[in-house]
Amino acid sequence: MTEIPEHLLKRAKAARDKSAAESGAGEAASGAASDSRIPEELLNRSKAAAAGGVAVAERVATGVATTAPNGNAPLGTGPGGHTQRLLTVVKSGSIQDVKAVPVDKVHTWPHLLGPEFVAALACTAFTFLFSWFVNAPLLQAANFNQTPNPSKAPWYFLGLQELLTMFHPMIAGVTLPGVALISLMLAPYMDRNPSNKPEDRKFLTSIFTVHLMFWAVLVIIGSFFRGPGFNFTFPWRDGIFFEL
């Protein structure tokens, strides 16, 4: 048995109390029904319905029998004595998104929030433990007169710095990363293939992987295989010239 929410219970109780209070007062006021705004005919009908329900059937029967609206019929009664008309039929498809195939869904709590919480906890634990054992670097205070050799950019820019050894700075530092960034943004508009299945996207997947590998290799070379003067070294021979 599902429990009824507390606010609904409260609302129901309030409504019940109100109606109880009104029915007490309503008995007294029933004599003054003539100044109610509800047409007397309708009031009579509802009274009759409350009495037995037969009166409603009679009323409908007389309505159908007297094909023309008579004095008794409410205002706006149709030729058949009908008091309701079908104005229009709105098919559900035109105003709401009807899913032909129901989507298989699960509750966010606990099926999504649970793993999210565990992942956040694991991430915090990892960062905490790593910070426990490895200290962030802090070298000597900045000194404009003493350029360290080699000077390296942060690791994610080392691919660019690596390109600087091969191309003019304008190409390596601006054009290539700019083109990469813009083509990355435009990727969804250039990729006209609607499928997201890996077997249909072999070409693009390969291209992207090659780019990622190219970038990763440049970063690794820049990080570990560049020594004094940004010359090529082997980390196992000359040591690592790299701070994170």
The verdict on 239 binding another protein (CB under 8 A) reads: no
CB atoms within 10 A of CB 77: 16
Angle among Cα 54, 56, 62 to the nearest 5 degrees reads: 105
Binding mask 76-105 for another protein (x = CB under 8 A): ---------------------------xxx
Of 161, 132, 167, 170, residue with least CA distance to 219: 161
The verdict on 223 binding another protein (CB under 8 A) reads: no
User: Candidates 13-21, 24-32, 64-72, 156-164 — which segment interacts with another protein by CB under 8 A?
Assistant: 156-164
Of 142, 162, 144, residue with least CA distance to 242: 162
The verdict on 208 binding another protein (CB under 8 A) reads: yes
Considering only residues 165 to 194 of the shown chain, the ones binding another protein according to CB under 8 A are: 169-170, 172-174, 181, 184-185, 187-189, 191, 194
Considering only residues 115 to 144 of the shown chain, the ones binding another protein according to CB under 8 A are: 115-116, 119-120, 123-124, 127-128, 130-132, 134-144
**Binding residue for another protein (CB under 8 A) from 39, 148, 228, 239?**
148
Min separation Cβ 242 and another protein, Å: 10
Of 231, 215, 236, 244, residue with least CA distance to 150: 231
Residue entry with tokens 């820049």: 222
Residues 138, 155: Cα–Cα separation, whole Å: 16
The first and second tokens of residue 80, run together, are: 């058949």
The verdict on 203 binding another protein (CB under 8 A) reads: no
The verdict on 145 binding another protein (CB under 8 A) reads: no
